[in-house]
Amino acid sequence: MKNSKIRILSLSIEHLKNVQYGSFDFQQEALPAKAFDQSSVIGFYGQNGSGKTTVIQALGLFKQIAMGQPLWTDMEKCINLDSNKATISIKFLIKFDDGKSYHVLYSGTIAKRATYKVGCAFAAEKLSVASEVAGKIPGRMTNLFSYELNFDDKPNFTPKARYDSIVKGQEKKIQASVAMRISQEKKTSLLFSPDFFALLKDSEETEMIEIVQAINSYANFNLFTITGVHSGLISMDAVIPLSVKYRHKDATAIGDIPIGQQGPITVNEQIFDLTESVLASMADVLGALVPGLSIEPMIYGRELMNDGSMGVRYELVSVRQDKRLPIRYESEGVRKILSVLNLIIAMYNNDSFCVAIDELDAGVFEVLLGDLLKVIMESGKGQLVFTSHNLRPLEILDKQNIVFTTTNPENRYIHLKNIRPTNNLRDCYIRALNIGGQDEPLATETKFHLIRRALRNSGVKDG
């Protein structure tokens, strides 16, 4: 498999949750020669329920699709009530180590389908490509491979010549039919399914093989989404989900390590060893973000676990001036930073790494949030996507790095217009909220008299 670098260029969402349509670019510079030179940061702002979280969830859904995993179990409920299908389209820049570069667009359509018990399955997928030549932005994209189910659930593959080259012979045609049926039953992508990829690898479609492999590898190892569930678990003092991508003893650990907040927990020695190593790798950065603070495990002993392995009983403690407190007594902001810091470090140092974080500002001091984003913008390498209600980043980031949600479900994402370089984006946003002036309304007008009346009437009822 060739080594590759990948950058997300744009995302379009149709009929997913409360977004009937929304589209935006992740970065303006799409030339392969320059796209990986610096970090790409994009923040989303808007009123509650206007589609910010849907962006993070759409990226998480794509990650599942490209990894060949099943759709969400409640996928049918996530399709907009005004439609029977939802589509996500995501464009990438892929640069291989042999110098070849492509703009690649993946589009997947998921439909409510009465034929299947679970209710949802893929109705169409399409992979389009345009080659970069002589450092110029590619023009029109061509269909590399696509299929669409017709009225009787039979797939129509295009281009037919490429499909025929993949499924030469009756045996491979049967294998392709089985792969389609399995993907529909399991609610997975056909393009990224192992059964279809086995057919593809046995063909002469080298370009398609490389592109599908690159996207699959990216989804597995370099694309991470942190939803509001993480913040919820921290706020409830349940666990701290320590999200990691960490090279440890000839293997790469990926996922969440649950850190108990209610007291000491017992884990096997391998998990403890990994946790201890991850904490050590973050120590300098955590100390720079929160001066005087360090986090370390306090070991209470070792004991035999139910499976016969040796376990370590420990809890995390915060240390300031040699005073130790259990991690549950630390501020919510510190616990939130701790949970995502390993991924932020990976994103800062890897130009093909993307982390999307919902409610990045939850419990985090606004000056610290602004300083962190400024450092990432100035000297980072990867891509950061975040949602926030804290307006401090509007004073730090450029206007092209901020997307605002609107009250129009058919045009959810916009940049503010008529913003001069000397303007304070925060002030412009507040002005737009109060007096408008943009192409779409950014928030529903607050009726103060209705709020006063409701409060007064509720008080009368309670009395």
In this prediction the pTM is: 0.92
Q: What is the pLDDT of residue 56?
A: 96
d(CA 194, CA 402): 38
3-state secondary structure of 128: strand
User: What backbone torsions phi and psi does residue 214 show, to the nearest 5 degrees?
Assistant: -65, -45
d(CA 302, CA 394): 49
Topology of domain 1-222+350-463, CATH: Rossmann fold (3.40.50)
Token reading at 223:
């694309």
Residue 391 burial (C-beta neighbours within 10 Å; 0-12, 13-18, 19+): middle
Domain ranges in the chain are 1-222+350-463, 239-331
Q: What is the pLDDT of residue 114?
A: 60
Q: What is the pLDDT of residue 379?
A: 93
> 372, 289 in Cβ contact below 8 A?
yes
Q: What is the pLDDT of residue 422?
A: 82
DSSP output for 141-199: -EEEEEEEE-TTS-EEEESHHHHHHHS-SHHHHHHHHHHHHHHHHHT--STT-HHHHHH
> 24, 11 in Cβ contact below 8 A?
yes
Question: Which stretches of the chain drop beneath a pLDDT of 70?
Answer: 28-33, 114-118, 134-137, 151, 445-446, 460-463
